[in-house]
Amino acid sequence: MTTDLGVAFSEIARTLRASTVAVHDAGDRGAGSGVVWDARGIVITNAHVVRGAYATVETAGGRRVRATLVGRDAERDLAALRIDARDAGVLVAAGRRDAATLVPGELVLAVGNPHGIPGAVSAGLVHRCNARWVVADVRLAPGNSGGPLADANGQVVGINSMIVRGLAFAVPSGAVAAFLRALRADTRAA
């Protein structure tokens, strides 16, 4: 028997999967996930997922395309990749919400590619949120790094980064926005 909540949950997961990509470091030394942040080809992932100047991104549609690293912040564990949207096919940018508006107890979902399983979904509750981290009791595994943490409406509130004592830590969406603003300012200044 399917409940209305179950149908809503599966629809949110489907929407998030459309914006989630697999990221393979150059030479396939490592793999993780990423989020299509901009339909023109910007993908956000973790700095620890992409260590070189290039990576391969596999879209939700199954296309594998070369991605160029356009920015990296190892301290915040963020990396921005650019892919050619013409090569990637249709890119669906994730909806976003400022993580500063989260409250403890809110339902959140993580989507990623743990252990190479594409589009895996897990859910949990927010424990706390500050400018540094969104902390939730969501189950993550290797391959979830760089993927989205989203609210119950499917709006991305963070980028999954690590597990500490069984809790998921995600970089808040506001930190991602600040990272991208700094990249644009650097590009204009160059």
Give the whole-angstrom CA distance, residue 29 versus residue 48: 11
Give the whole-angstrom CA distance, residue 48 versus residue 13: 25
Give phi and psi for 2, each to the nearest 5.
Answer: -95, 130
Burial class, 117, CB count within 10 angstroms (exposed 0-12 / middle 13-18 / buried 19+): exposed
Q: Residue 188 corresponds to which tokens in the numbers above? A: 């204009």
Residue with tokens 């942040």: 37
From residue 109, alpha-carbon distances to 27, 78, 85, 155, 188 in Å are 30, 20, 26, 10, 35
| Cα dihedral: 157, 36, 121, 141 (round 10) | -90
**Residues designated as active site:** 48, 77, 145
Please check whether residue 43 is in contact with residue 93, taking contact to mean a CB–CB distance below 8 angstroms.
no
Q: Residue 62 corresponds to which tokens in the numbers above? A: 């199954």
| Three-class SS state of 101 | helix
Please check whether residue 125 is in contact with residue 139, taking contact to mean a CB–CB distance below 8 angstroms.
no
